[in-house]
Structure 1
Amino acid sequence: MRARNYFVGAAFALLAGGMANSALAQDIKIGEINSYSLLPAFTEPYRKGWQLAVEEINAAGGINGKKLVVISKDDGGKPADAQTAANELVSSEGVAMLTGTFLSNIGLAVSDFANQKKVFFLAAEPLTDAVTWSKGNKYTFRLRPSNYMQAAMLVEAAAKLPAKRWATIAPNYEYGQSAVAVFKKLMSEKRPDIQWVDEQWPPQGKIDAGPVVQAVAAANPEAILNVTFGADLVKLVREGNTRGLFKGREVVSFLTGEPEYLDPLKDETPEGWIVTGYPWYSIKTPEHDAFLKAYQTKYNDYPRLGSIVGYQTIKAAAAILAKAGSTDPEKLIAAAEGISMPSPFGEITFRKIDHQSTLGAFVGKTALKDGKGVMVDSVYKKGADYLPSDAEVEKLRPKD
């Protein structure tokens, strides 16, 4: 009798295990990688954004009836760790695609992994143009507007300034180098009279703001392009305010209008900088209103730009998976090329020619209100209006 009970129990255990495995097989898993421990100001709101998206997708029936599961890993800001994480997600977790990354050098590392292993990769945040152009590949798509797109938006306003002598300050890695190069190219095309009188390249996350400010002041520019962000931006602004670097000078700045970078400046926020950013408090559209209400209801907090990026990355991944009706990478690529979808900023499309989405950005000026920094006079710039022609892209991007 004891033996019989043992075999019956074992049979039930096997049956239960089989049912569990069958249920798990119904889930669609996405691998997500980001620099959570290195850049929490952006990545924590980003995580909240994608978690809200997963909740909404599953509440609406999942992806063609299957539950969406996101398996997330921290790359610690290291390209090698990001590739290790990508390998674990693909080989051990069996994810259908990879998403995420923040720093441009990490985005390129995961993109290279995806190309070698033939895995679909939806890059969320890395901004270097190389992701979709010089080092682009058939397996990699990108959500956020690239350095080229944001530079083109900023140049539209910067070229109208009377300033002729310009200096640049940017972190010395892929993102900063790419941003400065494309801004200088586009600006010089519109304003051949411009002189570039100084370049400062502090290490990312380790700026020594005193010597940087001193060097820029010594070059006596009429305008400054800033590409620093996060803690580096706070140090630069504090030192620049103390030494009067920004007085009487125009400043054009990538990303500074994003709440995650503007908020820490508080009453030290310099006024009148031309910036890209996210003025969540002044966007009045049905799409953004719906997102804002859902986000604030869930988290009792206001969104940052990271929240938008995380949310839309997973929404885009789900739309691609639903259209493909498969997790096969080739079918995902076919589904993603040319796909259009809603976003909190309006409809966006992933272009077939270079896999870049047409998500845009807000451009405005910094101002002080009630002791904190805000964006004013902001205008949404559609991404599609700030991309080069197909003929130009074909010259920039290698053939797949």
Structure 2
Amino acid sequence: MPAPLAPFPRSRRALLAAGALGLLAALAPGAATAQEPIRIGEINSYSTIPAFTEPYRKGWQLALEEVNAAGGLLGRKVEVISKDDAGKPADAITAANELVASDKVAMLMGTFFSHVGLAVSDFAKQRKVFFLAAEPLTDAIVWDKGNAYTFRLRPSNYMQAAMLAEEAAKLPAKRWASIAPNYEYGQSAVAVFKKLLSEKRPDIEWVAEQWPPQGKIDAGPVVQAIAAAKPDAILNVTFGPDLAKLVREGTTRGLFKDRAVVSFLTGEPEYLDPMKDEAPVGWIVTGYPWQVIDTPAHQTFLKAYQAKFADYPRLGSIVGYSAMKAAAAIIAKAGSTDTDKLVAAAKGIRVDTPFGTVTFRAGDHQSTLGAFVGTIAVKDGKGVMEGVVYRDGALYLPPEADAAKLRPAD
């Protein structure tokens, strides 16, 4: 009779049991990735335009915190891997490639400058990666250079130009001049504003234009050249430090005295606040008067933002927050991080933002986020917007079917 087998030592039995359980867990569908976070690749010009992008970063950080506090997405936490493109298309493409190839992100989000956004959009098209363009304003990103994988949040040049042209058409001015940075955003903004204003007022003429390099304006010669043309009104598209230099020089030389000025973005706190009491009184602008927006959605956002950062929000904060909320909504609706499912989910999706609910139109991938229009005043030594009205972006876009025809075939 063979000797009975010796029992396994207790420690060995436990080890084998643990190994069996581990094997079963490894074979369970999706077990290996169940706890891995969903990664979103974020690219922006942090070192180049910090006045906008630092509040933008705070905005998406707040939204990310809220998403994860609510349980994350698809049962997983969400992680953002952020990279700086230094305002250069080549750097943005390098960053995008690293995020997709090495970090295995589910989607790309962000960018500020229009030419950078277009470069990342083309990358998304070539690599078949979902891209949520947060800030770049050129119409090309959703129209003549649009693609299946790119969606845009901010109200475009066309939308803001339509809002401003509506006000400009009411002015008696007939002779107009323009000042804009000489790159995609400035060129696009001037072209569409001219078109839309001329449609409303065939009697106007454009008598001068100045195209200073972005970030390197020599304000003296620009002001002198515009003044020499004797326009009745001026379209301004400069922003940031260039805007402050232009305002100071133009005010000193009397360029803006008794002349109407219509200006993209000037009412945004990131550009208005640094000018303090030098803010250009009377300019018709788009912007973000955070102090006077009393809707429940904005008040909820404002309280959360101030509690987290002990600071007031800028327009960048709204863009960053809304972009992250949109990204989360798209992933949740898709029920997956598969690119084709994300694209399908994004078409027509409705997303709640501090400015209200917006829709990403299926026809051209443009969101209906709007903007505030008003005039600049100085109160208590600082620039503010007054006479403010929120313009619903949906009312300042071509019909969706018409806009779809502006896009190349996907």
Please indicate the TM-score interval, normalised by the length of the shorter structure: over 0.9
1:199 is aligned, of 186, 209, 222, to 209
Report the CA distance between 1:393 and its aligned residue: 1.2
Q: Does 1:363 align with 2:363?
A: no
Matching residue of 1:272: 282
Per-residue CA deviation, residues 155-184 of structure 1 (Å, 9 max, x unaligned), is: 111100000000000000000000000000
Paired with 1:237 and 1:270, the residues of 2 have a C-alpha distance of 7
Report the CA distance between 1:26 and its aligned residue: 2.8
Q: Does 1:109 align with 2:90?
A: no
Per-residue CA deviation, residues 361-395 of structure 1 (Å, 9 max, x unaligned), is: 00000000111000111100000000012343133
Matching residue of 2:63: 53
1:164 is aligned, of 150, 162, 174, to 174
Report the CA distance between 1:95 and its aligned residue: 0.1
* TM alignment of 1:1-400, pairs within 5 A: 22=32, 25-400=35-410
What TM-score do the two structures reach when normalised by structure 1?
0.95
Paired with 1:222 and 1:394, the residues of 2 have a C-alpha distance of 37
Secondary structure, aligned partner of 2:261: strand
Paired with 1:22 and 1:299, the residues of 2 have a C-alpha distance of 37
Report the CA distance between 1:397 and its aligned residue: 1.1
Report the CA distance between 1:398 and its aligned residue: 1.1
Paired with 2:68 and 2:235, the residues of 1 have a C-alpha distance of 43
Per-residue CA deviation, residues 138-164 of structure 1 (Å, 9 max, x unaligned), is: 000000000000000001111000000
Pairs aligned (count): 388
Higher Cα Rg: structure 1 or 2? 2
Secondary structure, aligned partner of 1:396: coil
Report the CA distance between 1:189 and its aligned residue: 0.3
The amino acid of 2:242's aligned partner reads D
Paired with 1:175 and 1:282, the residues of 2 have a C-alpha distance of 29
Q: How large is the Cα RMSD of the aligned pairs?
A: 1.7
Secondary structure, aligned partner of 2:294: coil
Give unmatched runs, 5+ long, in structure 2: 1-10
Report the CA distance between 1:25 and its aligned residue: 4.9
Per-residue CA deviation, residues 76-104 of structure 1 (Å, 9 max, x unaligned), is: 01000000000000000000000000000
Secondary structure, aligned partner of 2:161: helix
Give unmatched runs, 5+ long, in structure 1: none
Per-residue CA deviation, residues 113-162 of structure 1 (Å, 9 max, x unaligned), is: 00000000000000000000000000000000000000000011110000
Contact 2:284 2:375 (8 Å CA) reproduced? yes
